[in-house]
Amino acid sequence: MTTMTDTSNAARFREFKMPDVGEGLTEAEILKWYVQPGDTVTDGQVVCEVETAKAAVELPIPFDGVVHALRFPEGTTVDVGQVIIAVDVAPGSDSAAAEPEAPAPAPEAEAPKGRQPVLVGYGVAESSTKRRARKGAETAPPAAAPAAVQAELNGQGTAAVPEARPLAKPPVRKLAKDLGIDLATVTPTGVGGVITREDVHAAATPEAPPVPEPSVAPVVAEAEVPVQQGARETRIPVKGVRKAIAQAMVGSAFTAPHVTEFVTVDVTRTMKLVAELKEDKDMAGVRVNPLLVIAKALLVAIKRNPGVNAVWDEANQEIVQKHYVNLGIAAATPRGLIVPNIKDAQDQTLPQLAASLGELVATARDGRTSPAAMAGGTVTITNVGVFGVDTGTPILNPGESAILAVGAIKLQPWVHKGKVKPRQVTTLALSFDHRLIDGELGSKFLADIAAILEQPKRLITWA
């Protein structure tokens, strides 16, 4: 039989599992622990910094207590769903014995008839790692106990209290705590009764100050691998963003049949427009550069050629036409290439687009780009011209069907009004998925972008 001490022990120690902080990510590396065994933690407190394939993120813990054990050291890559920290939620209790080295495997239960909706990062399949049962362990507890204890360990409920705890991700709990909102009073709208950020904001008073997105830890450059004197080779571990880039590029290159077209265009008038916009009072406080006008030109060209803003759905054998543009901007960071995107860029005015571009670049430079900011892109611009490169053949960002590469803008001899004159010229390269974008559509789209950059007034006449 199961003793009262065993049941109390399970209720006393709660374990926090590695959540899925992105979209479908399977693992993350623990970069830094902010707490140690014996430290007191509170609901919403950041306990560690982890790096996924998309970003470095700080994880808040969803309950109060005293840290009992850290399951993995810094630098360890942990699968989503594995326990990373154990917390004593009743440190003054005398009824519980020492916490076991690791959670005992749960008794086999009847397999569910269908896939159960769960909170992202919680309730996932248990780790395949086998752990030895604690010596002196009794027989399995009553049938009702495993579900209650598992809910407790997952942060979804309290084993000792039959009343269910509101379902919410740790960042949402932190948001509610910052706004002073009791999650028990919030009406959930998420799948499976999960409380979302929007639910918390809706429950807040109108005067409540806006709360920033969950904090994302500053990103540092990958540590350099020491090179031994006289060594002829150096091996660098492939992980994090670099690993994700490699997998994404290989998957894209060998899934979507790429076609790349090029056009060289006189952008002298565009450069004059950029200079004028810098002096415009309506553009005060935002950064104005050629990329801004190029981005606006691309958005106008998509409006004229909407078939470009689509994606191939292999599973359903459908072409999914997007009626919004999440404009991706490829950015080089110390961690590697990332592609954050501007949501609903088609609805933004030129000053708004300039502000969005400025914020995107600054966030990427500081290493604060969140996984959500890199999800859901529909088309991308990569500015290889900043490196002095004339052009390139860019690979599609997975889930997109077109990417525009912008080359360096250089002063070159150009025939203008029947005479050879020095003009500012650049080369554009457009790669697209030939399964859904044929040569005619791709060519028209690229030609429209070039035409706008040659005659920027088309931003008005074609809009």
Positions annotated as catalytic residues are: 434
Closest CA to 368 of 216, 171, 211, 221: 216
Amino acid at 81: G
What whole-number distance in Å separates Cα of residue 126 and Cα of residue 124?
6
Closest CA to 51 of 75, 15, 34: 75
CB 385 within 8 A of CB 408: yes
Helix, strand or coil for residue 433? strand
CB neighbour class for 418 (10 Å; exposed up to 12, middle 13-18, buried from 19): exposed
CB 322 within 8 A of CB 309: yes
**How are beta strands 402-406 and 379-383 bridged, if at all?**
parallel
Q: For the chain, report the end-to-end CA distance as a whole number of angstroms.
A: 75
What whole-number distance in Å separates Cα of residue 406 and Cα of residue 384?
6
- Give the CA distances from residue 288 to residues 276, 293, 295, 409, in Å, rounded to whole numbers and listed in that order: 10, 8, 12, 16
What whole-number distance in Å separates Cα of residue 156 and Cα of residue 63?
10
Closest CA to 132 of 106, 94, 109, 101: 101
Structure tokens at 261: 């077209």
